[in-house]
Structure 1
Amino acid sequence: MEAEKKYVTVEELKKHNKPGDLWISIQNKVYDVSDWIKDHPGGDTPLLGLAGQDVTDAFIAYHPGTAWQYLDRFFTGYYLKDFKISEVSKDYRKLASEFAKQGLFEKKGHGTMYTLLGVTFLFSLVVYGVLRSESVLVHLVCGMLLGLLWIQSAYVGHDSGHYQVMSSPVFNKVTQILAGNCLTGISIAWWKWTHNAHHLACNSLDHDPDLQHIPVFAVSSELFNSITSCFYGREMTFDSVCRFLVSYQHWTYYPILCVARVNLFVQTLLLLFARKGVPNRALNILGILVFWTWFPLLVSCLPSWSERVMFVMASFAVTGIQHNQFTLNHFSADVYVGHPNGNDWFEKQTGGTLDISCPPWMDWFFGGLQFQLEHHLFPRLPRCQLRKVSPIVEALCEKHKLPYRSLSFLAANVSTIGTLRTAAMEARDLTRPVPKNLVWEAVNTHG
């Protein structure tokens, strides 16, 4: 029976890597997902990003055991002939299997319920404070509480997007829309689109959208080569304006984070109204309309324009703490240029992530994402399990001599600023040819 099997080589598999001709391999069986790409629940980005290669580790990371039964309908009849599984991948798969046997993926705890209750309480306080108090100080505190509400609500949207936090898929989708679109104004469709790409191509300068912040930030001088974003499909141009902004990015980092939420609003609207093929577009737009109804109405209830501006800026500034958290996990980690490889899943995740060490009582503040490496390796693992598996993941990294970086919140900020400053100093290099910018030259050559 073994002699009757049909085989393709790794090189032959690589040729099937484009829309309309998209093959992948899972545990040495080759599947044709060319037609499935439009119905894939995770969108087309993951399949396009890993097309033409073995994706076993990524499939294990993102899919429950029940998903395996649906693969046979895509089987081409071919097996992968000369694919060698790395020792790291073997250990990773064993670990994922062990976690599944222990039921860790199903033991979600009550974190989501507590967070939702907390969000409800915060929302009530904010509304009450705005409507019932005439104190400027109370209104300032309400704006800050609204920012905290957005942070916690975003964690619920993140968790429900990665795994089912509610009792059914329908309730889970409702939770996503409420926590994301309705409460924060950020579309869950936009989040899935970018976040899936981020996980699969962690810290790839040309594939990971979470590192593509030109012209404002550049975490590596590689971005000065005006490389093309494979995610957005456009060149990230390093021109004179970009050079000027990046040259001072270690100073502008925190101020920009305080207003970074505006960019997320813009990105949400661009996706929902300018991009084709957005899943659940109508539902996402409805959720966004809910946000843009209650938020401006609440702000309008404040007695003066000065207090309204103060309230909005306070809420944005507090939410900047979360943007800071997200960037700490990746900005000062390893980066690379090129296509992610399905056979170095574990290595890419360890290289591109950085954990934030904190005591257990602070876990609510970070939403579980302080265990960034653990989350990237096992994105379906509920946040309440991440601290438990952390020592196991660290031991596996040590076994294979891979980085396991865990820094304090302060040390992670210092490391991130250091990365930004290094790139900023390189951007000031006058020998790198870019179009002249008189403002930049005046500041940097004449003081």
Structure 2
Amino acid sequence: MLPTMADSQKKDYITSDELKKHNKPDDLWLSIQGKVYNVTDWSKIHPGGDIPLLNLAGQDVTDAFIAFHPGTAWKYLDRYFTGYHLEDFQVSDVSRDYRTLATQFSKAGLFEKKGHGVIYCLSFISLLLFTVVYGVLCCESFGIHMLSGALLGLTWIQVAYLGHDSGHYQIMTTRGYNKLAQILTGNCLTGISIAWWKWTHNAHHIACNSLDYDPDLQHLPVFAVSTSFFKSLTSHFYDRELTFDSVSRFFVSYQHWTYYPVMIVARFNLYLQTFLLLFSKRRVPDRFLNILGVLVFWTWFPLLVLCLPNWTERVLFVLASFTVTALQHIQFTLNHFAANVYVGAPKGNDWFEKQTGGTIDITCSSYMDWFFGGLQFQLEHHLFPRLPRCHLRKISPVVQDLCKKHNLPYRSYSFFEANVVTLKTLRAAALEARDLSCPVVKNLLWEAVNTHG
């Protein structure tokens, strides 16, 4: 018996509620422009990892897809098309304006015009590295050695920006060379795996400032930017409970005092996270290349440090480099710690709003753009992550106008002001953490130490 027209219509369309049921790793559907795709198998080999797909599973994800994919990606969607369309597909006014803006930028060629920033950055990095090595090997002055350590920290900052750019868009002529640039800038020169960075950074972009989905806000027991962490939230990124126990309460109670010292030694945690991922059972793209690159770093860096005349200078050299690099770690936290936060999975239908609510720009003169690596325009970067940094200042007024039109926040502070509001956020949570009427999970080791000395 042939299907009737009504049967055909029912087969071709599903509702948003029906789409939401397909939100598991073994049954993962998404909608883009109202067309429904089954990306269950694709999630296992997705270049951006499975986390972004899982976080937005069962939803229309058009805005996020436009943000992270070039126009050439659309042609690959048909192979995953289920044959269904979203019956109640709607586009909000702000999403419509955002998509129009992205189309205008694409037609203007902004995503392809990368300028000469990569050449300038590589030249600057090479000059800095040469100066560092020369200062360590060819000079005997203690002051020169400490200055060399500081310059190494500045080198790592610039290298990180270049690695960040290569992770978001192709800075080299081919994908192969781009991957080489990622391994070189991330693993070989900084000791931080580009695979680890992609894993966490993509999740951060998709779930910007979600307390339980964004790994960039999950820093217990050291930091808590919201009192919601006092409820021992479950991290859906790390798949474990972020326990707020006695140890967490102690550290968080003083976090506005420990913020800067922790930023200085934060690099040790990045090294640890790199090793935990690369030697885990989790699927890691290019695992061998990442491990090899990290081994390159842990060969040249210790050898350079050992060239210094004594252990006092060696320790101070490393401390000087870490202290300068802390400026970058501080900048990353300034962009988000004091912004709006929420609990729960990200939603595809308010993606633009979540980016504006969860980010803070840093105001600076154009001659300082090199120092901030373009990431002082954090909102612009979050809205258009594939846009080369040389265009972020140009599009800032347009983004401000769009935020104003839709009554959305656009916050931009000076570096000093951003530090102030971040410290206020940390202090407010710290004072709440000191409230002993709020119960915490007991930490047996902590209780034993305090009971028996």
**What TM-score comes out, normalization by structure 2 length?**
0.96
- Please say if residues 359 and 378 of structure 2, whose CA atoms lie closer than 8 Å, have aligned partners that are also in contact: yes
Following the alignment from structure 2 to structure 1, what is the Cα–Cα distance between the partners of residues 117 and 203? 26
Opposite residue 387 of structure 2, the aligned amino acid is L
Following the alignment from structure 1 to structure 2, what is the Cα–Cα distance between the partners of residues 306 and 322? 25
1:186–1:439 CA distance, 2 compared to 1 (3 A): closer
Match of 2:417 in 1: 411
Following the alignment from structure 1 to structure 2, what is the Cα–Cα distance between the partners of residues 11 and 437? 42
- Please say if residues 243 and 428 of structure 1, whose CA atoms lie closer than 8 Å, have aligned partners that are also in contact: yes
Match of 2:265 in 1: 259
Answering whether residue 392 of structure 2 is matched by residue 386 of structure 1, we say yes
SS in structure 1 opposite 2:30?
Answer: strand
Opposite residue 115 of structure 1, the aligned amino acid is C
SS in structure 2 opposite 1:274?
Answer: coil
Within 5 A, what are the aligned runs for 1:106-185? Answer: 106-185=112-191
How far apart are 1:294 and its partner, in Å? 0.1
Match of 2:100 in 1: 94
Opposite residue 165 of structure 1, the aligned amino acid is I
**Residue 218 of structure 1, aligned match among 218, 224, 236:** 224
1:17–1:313 CA distance, 2 compared to 1 (3 A): same
Match of 1:308 in 2: 314
Match of 2:450 in 1: none
CA offsets 1:358-396 (integer angstroms, 9 cap, x no match): 000000000000000000000000000000000000000
Answering whether residue 59 of structure 2 is matched by residue 53 of structure 1, we say yes
- Please say if residues 243 and 441 of structure 2, whose CA atoms lie closer than 8 Å, have aligned partners that are also in contact: no
Opposite residue 139 of structure 2, the aligned amino acid is S
How far apart are 1:440 and its partner, in Å? 10
**Residue 25 of structure 1, aligned match among 8, 24, 31:** 31
Following the alignment from structure 1 to structure 2, what is the Cα–Cα distance between the partners of residues 375 and 95? 14
Following the alignment from structure 2 to structure 1, what is the Cα–Cα distance between the partners of residues 422 and 105? 33
Unaligned stretches of 5+ in structure 1?
A: 442-447
SS in structure 1 opposite 2:28?
Answer: strand
- Please say if residues 377 and 396 of structure 2, whose CA atoms lie closer than 8 Å, have aligned partners that are also in contact: yes
1:299–1:104 CA distance, 2 compared to 1 (3 A): same
Opposite residue 428 of structure 2, the aligned amino acid is T
Following the alignment from structure 2 to structure 1, what is the Cα–Cα distance between the partners of residues 195 and 442? 40
Match of 1:445 in 2: none
- Please say if residues 24 and 31 of structure 1, whose CA atoms lie closer than 8 Å, have aligned partners that are also in contact: yes
Match of 1:289 in 2: 295
Match of 1:35 in 2: 41
Answering whether residue 432 of structure 2 is matched by residue 426 of structure 1, we say yes
Match of 2:192 in 1: 186
- Please say if residues 216 and 242 of structure 1, whose CA atoms lie closer than 8 Å, have aligned partners that are also in contact: yes
Match of 2:406 in 1: 400
How far apart are 1:260 and its partner, in Å? 0.4
- Please say if residues 8 and 80 of structure 1, whose CA atoms lie closer than 8 Å, have aligned partners that are also in contact: yes
**Residue 76 of structure 1, aligned match among 75, 82, 105:** 82
Following the alignment from structure 2 to structure 1, what is the Cα–Cα distance between the partners of residues 123 and 186? 16
Opposite residue 378 of structure 1, the aligned amino acid is F
Following the alignment from structure 1 to structure 2, what is the Cα–Cα distance between the partners of residues 8 and 120? 56
Following the alignment from structure 1 to structure 2, what is the Cα–Cα distance between the partners of residues 173 and 22? 28
SS in structure 2 opposite 1:85?
Answer: coil
Match of 2:349 in 1: 343
Following the alignment from structure 1 to structure 2, what is the Cα–Cα distance between the partners of residues 184 and 116? 15
- Please say if residues 244 and 441 of structure 2, whose CA atoms lie closer than 8 Å, have aligned partners that are also in contact: no
CA offsets 1:406-427 (integer angstroms, 9 cap, x no match): 0000000000000000000000
How far apart are 1:275 and its partner, in Å? 3.5
How far apart are 1:206 and its partner, in Å? 0.1
Aligned length: 441
- Please say if residues 220 and 243 of structure 2, whose CA atoms lie closer than 8 Å, have aligned partners that are also in contact: yes
CA offsets 1:322-380 (integer angstroms, 9 cap, x no match): 00000000000000000100010110000000000000000000000000000000000
Match of 1:333 in 2: 339
Opposite residue 65 of structure 1, the aligned amino acid is G
Opposite residue 431 of structure 2, the aligned amino acid is M
1:21–1:217 CA distance, 2 compared to 1 (3 A): same
Answering whether residue 252 of structure 2 is matched by residue 246 of structure 1, we say yes
**Residue 373 of structure 1, aligned match among 379, 387, 400:** 379
Match of 2:205 in 1: 199
How far apart are 1:83 and its partner, in Å? 2.4
**What TM-score comes out, normalization by structure 1 length?**
0.97
Larger deviation, residues 154-163 vs 112-121: 112-121
Match of 1:67 in 2: 73
Over the residues paired in the alignment, what is the CA RMSD in angstroms? 1.6
CA offsets 1:161-218 (integer angstroms, 9 cap, x no match): 0000111111111111111100000000000000000000000000000000000000
How far apart are 1:86 and its partner, in Å? 1.1
- Please say if residues 230 and 440 of structure 2, whose CA atoms lie closer than 8 Å, have aligned partners that are also in contact: no
How far apart are 1:54 and its partner, in Å? 0.3
Q: Percent identity, aligned pairs only? A: 71
- Please say if residues 148 and 318 of structure 1, whose CA atoms lie closer than 8 Å, have aligned partners that are also in contact: yes
Following the alignment from structure 1 to structure 2, what is the Cα–Cα distance between the partners of residues 136 and 156? 31
- Please say if residues 244 and 440 of structure 1, whose CA atoms lie closer than 8 Å, have aligned partners that are also in contact: no
SS in structure 1 opposite 2:279?
Answer: helix
Following the alignment from structure 2 to structure 1, what is the Cα–Cα distance between the partners of residues 443 and 237? 29
1:229–1:438 CA distance, 2 compared to 1 (3 A): closer
How far apart are 1:439 and its partner, in Å? 12
SS in structure 1 opposite 2:77?
Answer: helix
- Please say if residues 114 and 388 of structure 2, whose CA atoms lie closer than 8 Å, have aligned partners that are also in contact: yes
Match of 1:10 in 2: 16
How far apart are 1:430 and its partner, in Å? 1.3
Following the alignment from structure 2 to structure 1, what is the Cα–Cα distance between the partners of residues 438 and 35? 48
Opposite residue 408 of structure 2, the aligned amino acid is L
Match of 1:227 in 2: 233
Following the alignment from structure 1 to structure 2, what is the Cα–Cα distance between the partners of residues 225 and 378? 34
How far apart are 1:311 and its partner, in Å? 0.4
- Please say if residues 356 and 412 of structure 1, whose CA atoms lie closer than 8 Å, have aligned partners that are also in contact: yes
